[in-house]
Amino acid sequence: MNPILGSRGAVVAPHTLASQAGLDILREGGNAIEAAIAVAATLAVVYPHMTGIGGDGFWLLHAPGQDVSSIDACGATGAGVTRALYGELESIPWRGPLAANTVAGTVSGWGAAYDYSRSRWGGRLPFARLLESAIRYANEGFPVTHSQEENTRAKLSDLIDQPGFARTFLNQGQVPVYGERHRFPVLATTLEQLARAGADDFYRGELARQIGADLAAIGSPVTAADLARHHARIKPPLQLRLSGATLYNMAPPTQGLASLLILGIYDRIRQTGWNPDNVAGIHALVEATKQSFLLRDKHVTDPALMNIDPADLLNWKTLDALAAAVPLQHASPWPAPVSDGDTTWIGVVDDAGRAVSMIQSIYFEFGSGVVLPDSGIWWQNRGCCFDLKPGRLRSLEPGRKPFHTLNPAMAALDDGRLLVYGTMGGEGQPQTQAAVFSRYVWGGHNVRSAVAAPRWLLGRTWAEQSTTLKLESRYSPTIIQGLRKLGHPVEVVADFDERMGHAGALVLHPGGWIEGGEDPRSDGSVAAW
C-alpha cells in the first residue's frame, strides 16, 4: 500500500468530494486554511451524519518560521441552561431540544481561520468562494454513502420524532439509500447567506436572528443572545517533546492532553520491536491509554475552571510516574470512562509548507437529531456530556464549555518532516493517533499503511455501552490470544470497523514533497497535485 504523492499541495478528508473541494482551492492559489474551510463546509453537507455547521471545531495551524497556533471554536452552554431546566432527570437527554444546549462554534472557527489566513498567510480568496462546493451540493444534491445510509437506518428509531429530522434526512419518508441523490435546500439558503455576509453573521447578524428564532421554535434553551456572546479563540496549543519529535495538540476543553500523554508514556516504556502490530506494543499502548484517561478525567474541563495548567501535566515528573504505573505483564482494571462521538478530521498542506489539522463535530451521529426549521441546521448534542449533579468536574452550569473528545494533531520530526494527522471516534481518537504516530515514526510503516493497518479500541464509542478491548479481525489469532492471556477483555470486530474511526495523515518532507494516507474505513481520499 503506497502513499499518495504530491509536490504542490495535498488534502485528506473522510469524503472524496470534500477532498476534491479543497484541492480545487489549492489549485486556484488558495492556501491551506482556505482549502480547509472549503473541505469543512463541504463535509458539513455531504457527510451529514458525521458533521454540520451546528457543531464545534478545533484547528492547528503551522507555517514555516512561525509558532504553531490553535483555534478553539467550542461553544458554551446558554445563559438559561441550568440544572433546574432538566427537572427530575438524572442525566441530560442524548437527543432532542434539551440536548441542543450549547452554542455551535464551528462557523466561528471558519471565520477566525479566514481572518488569520488573510493577516498571517496572505490569503486572498473571497470567503464566498470557499463555500461554493458546499452550496452546490446542498442545492443540487450529492450521492448518499453507505455510511450515511447505515447510520440513518441504525439511528432512525431514536431520531424519527425529533423536530425536522424526517423532513431533512429522509426522502419521502424513507431512508436514503447508497448512491441516491440527497439535497438540503434549506441549508443551502443558510450557506448562501454566510457566503454573502461572512461567518460572523451566524452569531451577530441577520442569520443569527433567524437561528435564534428557530432555536426558540423547537424548544432549545440556546438563544440569539447566547450566539452573540460567542467568539472563537486563537491560542497556543499544547506541545510535548518525544524521542525524535515534538508533538502538538489542543488544550482543554479537549482531550488533546490525553493524546500527548499516551505517546509520552509509551515513549518512556517502549522497547525495541514493540509496535501496534504485536502483543507487547498493543498492550503497552492500551495501558498507557488507561493511565492518560485517568489523569484526563481528573482534570480536563472548561479551561476557565481548571485549577492546574494542563502544560504542567506534561512535565517529565508526571510522565515518569505514569510510565512507572504501567503493568507490563498483565492488564490493569479499567474503570470505563464514558465519552462518545461523531466527527470529521481533515488535513491540508499547501505549496508554501503551511499546514492545517482541523476537526469538527456534532458529537453523536446526527447530533441532537434536531433540525432548525428555517435555517436547516442540525444542532449538536455536545452538552449532554455535562453532569447534572453539582460539584463535579463537569457539572452543568450556564456559560460553561463542555468536555470535548476532539483533538487535531501535528508532529514536527527532528529530521525536518511534518506529520499532520487525526481521526474521528470519541474515546478512540487518542488511541488511533497513538497507533498512526507510532507505526509511522517508530514502527516501519509508510504513512498510508500506518492509517490502514488493523486497529484497536479500548472502551466506549459511538454511544455504545461496551467497554471491551475491540480488535479488528485482521489481527492474527496469535495476537488476539496473547492479549487475552494478559487479561484484556478482547472483542473481535469487523475487518475495517467504522468504530475505529476515520483517520488520515499527511507528511510534508523537507524537500517539499508530500505523502498522504486515507482511511479505508471512511469514504475519503487524499487529493494531491
Active site residues: 343
Please say whether the beta carbons of 409 and 248 come within 8 A: yes
Task: Give the pairing type, strands 355-363 and 469-472.
Answer: unpaired
**How many C-alpha atoms does 256 have within 13 Å on its Cβ side?**
31
Dihedral of alpha carbons 392, 367, 340, 234, sign: negative
Residue 487 has phi, psi (to 5 degrees) of: 105, 5
**How many C-alpha atoms does 506 have within 13 Å on its Cβ side?**
33
CA–CA gap between residue 265 and residue 285 (Å, rounded):
8
What burial letters (b/e) apply to 365-388, b meaning 16+ CB within 10 Å? bbbbbbbbbebbbbbbbbbbbbee
Q: Grid coordinates in use for 137? A: 451540493
For residue 189, count CB atoms less than 10 angstroms from its CB and return exposed for 0-12, middle for 13-18, buried for 19 or more.
middle
Q: Give the angle 383-387-390 at the CA atoms, nearest 5°.
A: 130
Q: Grid coordinates in use for 383? A: 452538552
